[in-house]
Amino acid sequence: MGIVNAQNITDVVVGSLGKHGEITEREREIATALIRHLHGFVKDVKLQHHEFLAACDYLARAGKLCNDNRQEFILLGDILGIEVLVDMMTNPVEGNESESTVLGPFYRENPPVLPKGASTIQKHYDNEETVYFEGYVRDEAGRGIAGVTLDVWEDAPNGIYENLDPDQPEYNLRGRFETDETGHYAFVAVRPVPYPIPDDETAGELLRFMGHHPNRPGHVHFILSREGYRPLISQIYDADSKWLDEDSVFAVKESLIGTFRPAAKELGTDLHFTFDFVLKAAAAERAVAAE
């Protein structure tokens, strides 16, 4: 029945799902939960019409900000802790595999492919600290995995990512590397510095509405991928960085924190950072191994 009141409106809307077009069970599950939670929110806060219109305007303005360099809705999801929660639902840790965390809004596809040990640095800064990053990528049994692609990116010593800074060269502090036959990777970059996420426009409005700050601790982004293994999107964090315990996007996990140490002279950098990853076999590979 389509006649509604405050008591039955939620059930009427849920009951309309799939009546005039086929929907999948997953679509029904998501739509039902979304409707019930949104209606519950409206009732809980007794949302007023002028507030509803303000929210519509806010989302419209957020949409207009999206471009190749800034994905405003990912940024808003980060500020609300939604992306990190979605990641936890998508990639639950079931064994000794490395933990994942948020992709973030500043990833760029197709960074340069560089040889092992090469540098991602294309522009130097007076305050930079160069770093030799290295480690091993292993499977759950501890065996090194050859041919893993590591896509890495970070902010510059001025606290700005290359795609937001017209003064930086294209793909500065970004690169793709591959593990050798032992699973070892290595590259040169800089020590990441804490920085504020964009706090202008709709992202800034949300931060101020929440009474929250925009700052992130120093970190380097990684995407690890190889056929036969579950892709890993993660970040590694500087144990000595400010904001480590108060990340504006709630993405820091204990297992992803590491320590920068003085580098040996032969490395040719200021600092040395070691970090190992463990990749989980893809579902099909696990099924074969179990047979």
Q: Please write the tens of the pLDDT for every residue from 123-156.
A: 999 999 999 999 999 999 999 999 999 999 999 9
Please provide the CATH number assigned to the domain covering 73-278: 2.60.130.10
Q: Rounded to two decimals, what is the model's pTM?
A: 0.86
Distance CA 260, CA 86 (A): 30
Q: Please write the tens of the pLDDT for every residue from 35-63.
A: 999 999 999 999 999 999 999 999 999 99
pLDDT of residue 27: 97
Q: What percent of the chain has pLDDT over 90?
A: 91
Kindly list the domain boundaries of the chain, sorted by start residue.
Answer: 8-70, 73-278
Is the pLDDT score of 32 beyond 60? yes
Q: What is the 3-state secondary structure (H, E, C) of 177-203?
A: EECCCCCEEEEEEECCCCEECCCCHHH
pLDDT of residue 286: 54
Q: What percent of the chain has pLDDT over 70?
A: 97
The helix (H) or strand (E) run that includes residue 278 is strand 277-278
pLDDT of residue 288: 47
Structure-token match 């019409």, residue found:
49
CB count in 10 Å sphere of residue 196: 15
The packing angle between helices 201-210 and 49-65, to 10°, is 140
Phi, psi of 237 (to 5 degrees): -115, 150
Q: Please write the tens of the pLDDT for every residue from 205-257.
A: 999 999 999 999 999 999 999 999 999 999 999 999 999 999 999 999 999 99
Residues paired with 78 in a beta bridge: none
